[in-house]
């Protein structure tokens, strides 16, 4: 590829409180999203730095196709060294900030340093030709929803926002970064949840970023065939998988299916199925639309999947949105909380306080398992989450994640890898997914390379994990949402039309692999080694299943083989994200 360099780079120094806009470097021309974030961190961040100190960097990088007319292509990568794992982290998020940054021409925002006074709060206002740091002490301690409600009175109707809640300000290791969605109200319901990047933003004194994209036009492709390709892709998608229950109704409707294959963890993962699957399944949410309102929407401009649910309460008032399978599982089933409406309340609390629903669900389940409270206590869990915002001892422990709660309660059953809680998809029946959890530089993260194939042959575990990791890295670099399910061939086609030159599918797969290599290299320099690739011991000790039992029994050498690239097969180019 050899197109002209396009775009600019925004550098923000939170120590000196100055910003600098410069031309986007040629060397990063074909990097976007997760791949760009990894390269910036590898080149500019000391891997041995303390995650909440001056030398860590917070990266905001829209995907390569963000800001274009390609469907569902405006995802944002938030990156940094994780306070949860101590390794590199990228958390991928929807909402409008990714689209808006790219429409203004910002390929990335690199935020360094931290203010001398940790009590001060600041805002970063971004427009097409300026970036200004402003005092924001009046917003100190605000939860995400009231914060955005206040900001929408001050900024234009088209502004989008990136923010943190009190958990980020307290620099808790489970803190998320919120992005406002595409609704008129601009709900802060889309979260870069995993890895505690909200704490990194909090450590820099940054309460929020505003992006005023106004009526900025979409980025122009080099080849007009790009528009035809976008139209054709949209048509084919709507006529194909777009009409199936998933993605049409979002991930929340796959609870029954997950339960059937023992990957709907119950009571801190001591069982793989929940007796409450019917009352938790997202079809109950879909049924509620008729009487309460709400429905499905696109969380970002230009999304054709529209898999994000808007959930109303019994009075027909907005409660939360983007209530996903992972949240229904980790804050519902895994805590033996039986009803989706309680999980909706918990989801709203997490979004408002600014904490990851997966890590928080795992942390609460460990607390329950250790005798801290009864399994199934929904009201107690709501009180516990409020304690996160209040900063009590147990609240801070919950906000710091499952491993911290395990240490506090001296409890052995903590399902995590590299300090990050295992998500809903269970590595005991899904062993290739387990290989991903062990080998991903980011710890247990299903979005790094999920493989949902419980009947897989053992000799396929490492290859399947590796192919899924390459595909997901390529998708996360592109800006397409994983729920659009583009394959590598299709991404190559979009790149070729956008840049007006040949882009092979092999090149896109290599770009995905290079992203993984950059992430692994960062972790090696940070001191990670094979001993950090261990699955949580409880996954090997606690069997789940029916007549056939599942435990984690994948040998270390099989896990390690995912680091050596397999020869690429046709399947790699045509596979779609799980
Ligand atoms: S597919 Fe769903 S999660 Fe992805 S951008 Fe669209 S609405 Fe958001």
Is the per-residue pLDDT at 2 higher than 50?
no
Q: Each residue of 41-83: pLDDT tens digit?
A: 999 999 999 999 999 999 999 999 999 999 999 999 999 999 9
Report the C-alpha gap between 480 and 329 in whole angstroms.
Answer: 25
Are 447 and 92 within 8 A, CB to CB? yes
**Residue 427: how many CB atoms within 10 A of its CB?**
28
300 lines ligand 1 (CB under 6 A): yes
Buried b (16+ CB within 10 A) or exposed e, 215-250: ebebbebeeeebeebbeebbeebeeebbeeebbebb
Q: Angle formed by the axes of helices 505-526 and 461-478, to 10°?
A: 100
307 lines ligand 1 (CB under 6 A): yes
Are 167 and 355 within 8 A, CB to CB? yes
Which token pair is 163? 């923010």
Using the 8-state DSSP alphabet, how is residue 184 labeled?
Answer: T
303 lines ligand 1 (CB under 6 A): yes
Q: How would residue 6 be classed by pLDDT, with cut points 50, 70 and 90? A: confident
Domain limits, the chain: 8-211, 245-414, 426-578
Residues 6+ apart with CB under 8 A from 556: 530, 533
Q: Report which ligand 1 atom has the smallest distance to the Cα of 303.
A: 6
For residue 297, report the distance from its CA to the centre of ligand 1, in Å: 8
Verify cis geometry, omega within 30 degrees of 0, for the bond prior to 337: no
When pLDDT is averaged across residues 314-337 and rounded to a whole number, the result is 98
Which token pair is 416? 């995590």
CA torsion angle 248 250 253 259 (round to 10): 130
Query: Would you put residue 354 in left (φ > 0), alpha (ψ -120 to 50) or beta?
Result: left
pLDDT score for 4 = 47
Q: Report which ligand 1 atom has the smallest distance to the Cα of 322.
A: 3
pLDDT score for 497 = 97
**Residue 300: how many CB atoms within 10 A of its CB?**
28
66 lines ligand 1 (CB under 6 A): no
When pLDDT is averaged across residues 319-325 and rounded to a whole number, the result is 97
CA torsion angle 15 109 518 435 (round to 10): 100
Q: Report which ligand 1 atom has the smallest distance to the Cα of 481.
A: 4
Are 218 and 68 within 8 A, CB to CB? yes
> C-alpha angle 81/35/220, rounded to 5°?
130
Q: How would residue 1 be classed by pLDDT, with cut points 50, 70 and 90? A: very low
Containing 512, the helix (H) or strand (E) segment is helix 505-526
Report the C-alpha gap between 492 and 496 in whole angstroms.
Answer: 6
Domains 245-414 and 426-578 share a fold: no
483 lines ligand 1 (CB under 6 A): yes
486 lines ligand 1 (CB under 6 A): no
Is the per-residue pLDDT at 245 higher than 60?
yes
pLDDT score for 5 = 54
Average pLDDT, the chain: 96
Which token pair is 69? 């007319």
Q: How would residue 226 be classed by pLDDT, with cut points 50, 70 and 90? A: very high
Report the C-alpha gap between 405 and 433 in whole angstroms.
Answer: 25
From 95, 249, 307, give the residue whose CB has the most ligand 1 atoms within 8 Å, as the site to mutate.
307
The rounded percent of the chain whose pLDDT value lies above 70 is 99
Of 299, 410, 355, nearest in space to 165 by CA:
355
**Residue 4: how many CB atoms within 10 A of its CB?**
9
For residue 327, report the distance from its CA to the centre of ligand 1, in Å: 16
310 lines ligand 1 (CB under 6 A): no
Residues in the chain, total:
578
Is the per-residue pLDDT at 167 higher than 80?
yes
**pLDDT greater at residue 214 or residue 186:** 186
Partners of residue 420 on adjacent β-strands: 417
Range with the lowest mean pLDDT among 18-27, 78-87, 243-252? Answer: 243-252
For residue 342, report the distance from its CA to the centre of ligand 1, in Å: 24
pLDDT score for 465 = 98
When pLDDT is averaged across residues 331-359 and rounded to a whole number, the result is 98
pLDDT score for 214 = 84
Q: Name the residue at shortest CA distance from atom 2 of ligand 1.
A: 307
Q: Each residue of 28-41: pLDDT tens digit?
A: 999 999 999 999 99
pLDDT score for 122 = 98
Partners of residue 132 on adjacent β-strands: 125
Containing 541, the helix (H) or strand (E) segment is helix 537-541
Report the C-alpha gap between 169 and 399 in whole angstroms.
Answer: 12
The rounded percent of the chain whose pLDDT value lies above 90 is 95
Given the candidates 3.90.1150.10, 3.40.50.620, 3.40.50.2300, 3.60.9.10, the CATH classification of the domain at 8-211 is 3.60.9.10
When pLDDT is averaged across residues 509-524 and rounded to a whole number, the result is 98
Residues 6+ apart with CB under 8 A from 350: 176, 191, 327, 331, 356, 357, 360, 385
189 lines ligand 1 (CB under 6 A): no
Overall fold of domain 426-578: 1.10.599
Partners of residue 163 on adjacent β-strands: 178, 208
For residue 560, report the distance from its CA to the centre of ligand 1, in Å: 33
Range with the lowest mean pLDDT among 125-134, 216-225, 462-471? Answer: 216-225
When pLDDT is averaged across residues 534-560 and rounded to a whole number, the result is 97
Q: Each residue of 265-313: pLDDT tens digit?
A: 999 999 999 999 999 999 999 999 999 999 999 999 999 999 999 999 9
When pLDDT is averaged across residues 174-190 and rounded to a whole number, the result is 97
Q: DSSP string spanning 363-411?
A: HHHHHHHTTSS-TT-HHHHHHHHHHHHHT-HHHHHHHH-HHHHHHHTT-
309 lines ligand 1 (CB under 6 A): no
For the domain spanning 245-414, the CATH number is 1.10.569.10
């Amino acid at each position: 590829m050899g197109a002209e360099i396009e775009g600019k780079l925004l550098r923000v120094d939170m120590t000196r409180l100055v910003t600098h806009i410069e031309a986007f470097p040629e060397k990063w021309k074909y990097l976007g999203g997760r791949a760009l974030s990894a390269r910036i961190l590898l080149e500019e961040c000391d891997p041995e730095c303390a995650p909440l100190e001056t030398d860590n960097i917070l990266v905001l990088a829209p995907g390569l196709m963000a800001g274009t007319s390609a469907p569902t292509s405006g995802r944002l990568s938030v990156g940094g060294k994780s306070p949860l794992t101590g390794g590199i982290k990228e958390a991928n998020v929807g909402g409008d900030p990714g689209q808006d940054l790219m429409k203004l021409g910002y390929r990335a925002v690199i935020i360094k340093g931290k203010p001398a006074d940790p009590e001060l709060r600041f805002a970063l206002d971004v427009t097409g030709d300026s970036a200004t740091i402003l005092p924001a002490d009046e917003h100190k301690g605000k939860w995400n929803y009231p914060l955005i409600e206040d900001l929408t009175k001050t900024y234009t109707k088209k502004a989008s926002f990136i923010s943190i809640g009190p958990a980020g300000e307290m620099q808790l290791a489970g803190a998320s970064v919120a992005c406002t969605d595409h609704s008129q109200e601009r709900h802060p319901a889309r979260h870069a949840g995993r890895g505690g990047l909200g704490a990194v933003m909090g450590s820099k004194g940054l309460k929020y970023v505003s992006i005023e994209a106004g009526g900025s036009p979409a980025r122009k492709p080099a080849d007009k065939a790009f528009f035809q390709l976008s139209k054709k892709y949209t048509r084919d998608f709507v006529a194909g998988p777009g009409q199936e229950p998933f993605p049409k109704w979002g991930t929340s409707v796959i609870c029954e299916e997950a339960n059937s294959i023992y990957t709907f963890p119950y009571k801190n993962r001591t069982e793989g199925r929940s007796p409450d699957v019917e009352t938790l399944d997202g079809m109950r949410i879909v049924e509620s639309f008729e009487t309460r309102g709400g429905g499905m929407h696109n969380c970002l401009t230009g999304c054709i999947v529209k898999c994000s649910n808007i959930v109303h309460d019994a009075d027909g008032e907005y409660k939360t949105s983007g209530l996903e399978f992972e949240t229904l599982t980790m804050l519902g089933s895994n805590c033996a909380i039986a009803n989706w409406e309680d999980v909706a309340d918990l989801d709203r609390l997490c979004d408002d306080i600014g904490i990851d629903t997966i890590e928080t669900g795992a942390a609460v389940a460990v607390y329950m398992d250790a005798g801290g409270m009864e399994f199934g206590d929904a009201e107690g869990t709501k009180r516990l989450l409020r304690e996160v915002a209040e900063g009590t001892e147990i609240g801070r422990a919950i906000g710091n994640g499952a491993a911290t709660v395990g240490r506090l309660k001296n409890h052995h059953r903590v399902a995590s890898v590299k300090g990050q809680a295992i998500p809903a998809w269970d590595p005991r029946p899904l062993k290739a997914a387990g290989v991903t959890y062990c080998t991903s530089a980011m710890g247990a993260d299903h979005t790094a390379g999920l493989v949902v194939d419980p009947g897989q042959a053992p000799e396929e575990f490492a290859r399947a994990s590796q192919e899924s990791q390459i595909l997901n890295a390529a998708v996360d670099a592109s800006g397409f949402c994983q729920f659009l399910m583009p394959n590598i061939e299709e991404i190559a086609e979009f790149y070729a039309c956008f840049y007006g030159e040949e882009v092979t599918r092999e090149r896109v797969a290599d770009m995905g692999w290079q992203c993984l290599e950059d992430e692994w290299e960062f972790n090696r320099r940070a001191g990670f080694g094979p001993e950090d690739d261990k699955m949580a011991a409880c996954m090997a000790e606690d069997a789940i299943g029916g007549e056939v039992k599942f435990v984690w029994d994948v040998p270390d050498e099989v896990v390690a083989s995912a680091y050596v690239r397999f020869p690429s097969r046709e399947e790699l180019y045509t596979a779609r994200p799980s």
